[in-house]
Structure 1
Amino acid sequence: MSLSHKQISIRINPSISFRFLISDNYTISFDTYTSVYKFDELERIVKRNFNYWKSISEDDSNTFFILWKDLNDKINSVRDYFSNAETLEINEVNSHLCSTLTSSREEREPGKTVYIISLESPIDEDKEFCKIKDFVSFYVSQYKENLVLAVSTYIDICNNPYKVGTHLPNSTPYSYFPALYYMWQIFSNIADDFSDFESNKITPLSNRLHEIECDANKQYEDITILAEKKHNEIQKLFDDKVHELNEFQNAIETWNDDKEKKINDLEETYKNKLKLEAPEQLWRDRAEEHKKSATYWSVGLILTSVALIIASSRFIIVLHDYSLGNLKEAPFISRSFILVSVISFFIYVVRVLIKIVLSNHHLATEYRQKAALTRFYQSLTYAGTDIDKDERLIIMNALFSRVDTGLVKVDGSNDNDALLALLSKNIK
């Protein structure tokens, strides 16, 4: 978006000013040093003078028109640069003015630069410019050649009245016409008629008022555009903040839902821990007991096996010696029968002991698995895993099902089935 005239003025006016450098040959009452202008004022002055000299003549012989046209083009170029610039950095502005408008400048105060525009032409900021205008109107009505020389001669006579006698005998029109016009103004007692007053006083004043009105309308338009732009920026900022607040509120709600879910999972975990803490501890204790029992029975198995081997060997020897004398009285009992009976008894005892050891190992493993499954189930509930009724029933069945010792065969139905049926009714 291009910058408005008001924005440009606010940024460059505090640091940059302009003044004209015009020789005395083209001014009657104009102080070139004290007459300092801001860029907006410079733009209006250049446009007024350009339009005036354009109304007089657009020929190449009208040097004043050529000078003001060139300066007006430069001012328009600078205005375009200001309007299209994204940022008006003072260093960049100074560099552009030096390359486009004029390189002559001075610093009267720190940080304030005055650019000097050299110009060989009258300017309407001259307090006596109305005299120059009257003479130009008179001269172009009588003679159209050498306008620049005629104007400079008239201004020289106005500044130095004693030179009027020097120019009167001159045969060139651009020399004696200014002298005659000046003498006519001095010796004539005829007051300016109303048309001259209107053209010299009313019309310039009306033009000035029109320029002020146009400038005021332009500034009002710029202020309106600026206000609308700021309103849109504020509205956009407000909408962004509302969007951020909505996102923040959604994040808070999401966080709240997540924390509530975690709290519910913790409550569920705590409830399950209360429900399964005693069974889990019981299973761990029973696993430890059966582990110790398996160890004891293993040691007993080894000792018993050694004792049986020793006892059996001696018993067989004693029985063999005894049977040598008695078998004659009982011929139906053979030596092999006695030996097989002793070995069978030994094997039976060892087998029973092995079953007891394996049963204890089996029970210890089963109870450890139940304790681990209980802990795993609690971990699932803590992690928030959704476990439905059927899955919980399967887990409960695995936890509370009867453990087979492996010593005695039992029927598949037992009292635990009634307990599982009762638990299934209370599972939500």
Structure 2
Amino acid sequence: MDNKILFRFSIEEQYVINYNHQNEEYTFDELERISKSNFEYWNSVSREGYSQEWEILNKNITRVREYLSTIEELDSESIRNYFYNNIPSNREEIETDKYLYKISMSSPIDRDAEFGKIKNFVSFYIQHLTNNLREAVINFIRLSKNMYEIGYDLSSTSQYRFYPALYLLKQHFSDLKESKDDFETNIVLPIKSKLQEISDDSNEQYKEITTFIETKHNEIQQQFDEKSIELKEFQSSINIWQEGKEARLNDLEETYKNKLSLEAPEELWYNRSKEYREKAKYWTWVLIVSALALVGFLTGLVMVIHDYSLDTIQEIPFISKSFILVSIISFFVYIIRVLIKIVMSNHHLATEYEQKAALTRFYQALTYAGTDIAQEERIIIIHSLFSRTETGLVKTDSSNDVDAILSVLSKNVH
């Protein structure tokens, strides 16, 4: 803001001795300090002097300062308008987007190079009089710049004209130096007060800056901590997601390997089951036809053997009719039993291969689902799947492989 808005005091010549207001431009902070120091001085001297004008300016500046502390965004146009409406002044644009505010004051200003002379005269005057201070100061300034008018004012009956002329005459002819008290009052104490004011302002600004830095640091630290927690949670979720995907990929890879290794056996077992199922159907029809044929053949054969055996039995007395009949029936039953075993064997093989194909598919499904199967259990399963298949025609002492597979797989399902 300081590089866009400047201030200048416009003071009539009757209030200053050596002050070039055309070259004096101030920032808002400098304006505030100047207004405050002038008000404090004139208010300490007399309320009938120039303190009221500086008091009004101080109040206006305080109002602007409060406004600046409440706005969230620095809008140059709004700030310029607020300055113009609250601090009586003339505004002009000296450069692009740079404005100068001219503040008119009917009062001496401590930025005057000869302001020390004015203060010395004021100290002299208030020791003798307490009224008409404004007129006395104006006359003092006029006579300081026009010494030849001193004689005329010495003859004046107005004390506010007489005392300025008397003071300047004493200063001019007797070359009076400032007394120790005047020097201490007008020079030392103001400088000390100014230094104290600067120190107080510096301490206050330091505290404000320190508080601001600490506040921003805490806010940044809080945001950093929050983002760190969010980042850790995000990293944790990423790790969990990655682990899940890696496990899933391993399962798919294992399933693919199992599919490659078991696809051909599964297809072979499925084809074998169909083949033996067809054979079982074929041998079932053979059994039925053979049984009917044997029954018919047995009926005719019994009649033939009955007629034939009459003469034979007489020659071979130890062979009876019943023996011949039982022998023939036993032979026919044996043939039917063989055919039944063949049919049952084909059914048994078809069922066995169907179970192997189904168990192979079930094993692949468990791998796809991510079920953990130990290496020893995997060996048992593979051994059971690829073990010898019994035809059922001949009994063996081998254990039931299907039961072993079901036992292992059931345990892994849970």
TM-score (norm 2): 0.68
CA distance in structure 1 between the aligned counterparts of 2:402 and 2:215, rounded to whole angstroms:
78
Q: 1:292 to 1:57 in 2, by over 3 A?
A: farther
Deviation at 1:72, TM superposition (A): 0.7
Q: Who is 1:32 aligned against?
A: 21
Contact 2:139/2:164 (<8 A) preserved: yes
CA distance in structure 1 between the aligned counterparts of 2:132 and 2:68, rounded to whole angstroms:
38
1:167-316 → structure 2 map (5 Å cutoff): 167-270=153-256, 272-273=258-259, 276-286=262-272, 289=275
Q: 1:111 to 1:33 in 2, by over 3 A?
A: same
Deviation at 1:199, TM superposition (A): 1.8
Deviation at 1:143, TM superposition (A): 2.2
Q: Who is 1:22 aligned against?
A: 11
Q: Who is 2:330 aligned against?
A: none
Equivalent position to 2:36, from 31, 47, 69: 47
CA distance in structure 2 between the aligned counterparts of 1:366 and 1:102, rounded to whole angstroms:
109
Q: 1:154 to 1:116 in 2, by over 3 A?
A: same
TM-score (norm 1): 0.66
Secondary structure (helix, strand or coil) at the match of 1:37 reads coil
Secondary structure (helix, strand or coil) at the match of 1:107 reads strand
Q: Who is 2:136 aligned against?
A: 150
Deviation at 1:261, TM superposition (A): 2.0
Q: Who is 1:421 aligned against?
A: 404
RMSD: 4.8
Contact 2:10/2:102 (<8 A) preserved: yes
CA distance in structure 2 between the aligned counterparts of 1:172 and 1:184, rounded to whole angstroms:
18
Matched pairs, number: 359
1:38 maps to a residue whose letter is T
Equivalent position to 2:118, from 129, 132, 152: 132
Secondary structure (helix, strand or coil) at the match of 1:18 reads strand
2:134 maps to a residue whose letter is V
Secondary structure (helix, strand or coil) at the match of 1:29 reads coil
Deviation at 1:131, TM superposition (A): 1.6
Deviation at 1:19, TM superposition (A): 1.4
Q: 1:197 to 1:425 in 2, by over 3 A?
A: closer
Deviation at 1:419, TM superposition (A): 4.3
CA shift digits 1:113-134 (9 cap, x unpaired):
2222111111111111112112
CA distance in structure 1 between the aligned counterparts of 2:82 and 2:408, rounded to whole angstroms:
90
Q: Is there any run of 5+ residues in structure 1 with no aligned partner, and where?
A: 1-11, 302-355, 401-407
1:417 maps to a residue whose letter is N
Equivalent position to 2:104, from 105, 118, 131: 118
Deviation at 1:387, TM superposition (A): 9.3
CA shift digits 1:283-334 (9 cap, x unpaired):
432466479889x98xxx9xxxxxxxxxxxxxxxxxxxxxxxxxxxxxxxxx
1:62-73 → structure 2 map (5 Å cutoff): 62=49, 64-73=50-59
Contact 2:89/2:104 (<8 A) preserved: no
CA shift digits 1:57-113 (9 cap, x unpaired):
23xx44x11111111111112222223333333333223212222452233333432
Q: Is there any run of 5+ residues in structure 2 with no aligned partner, and where?
A: 286-342, 387-391
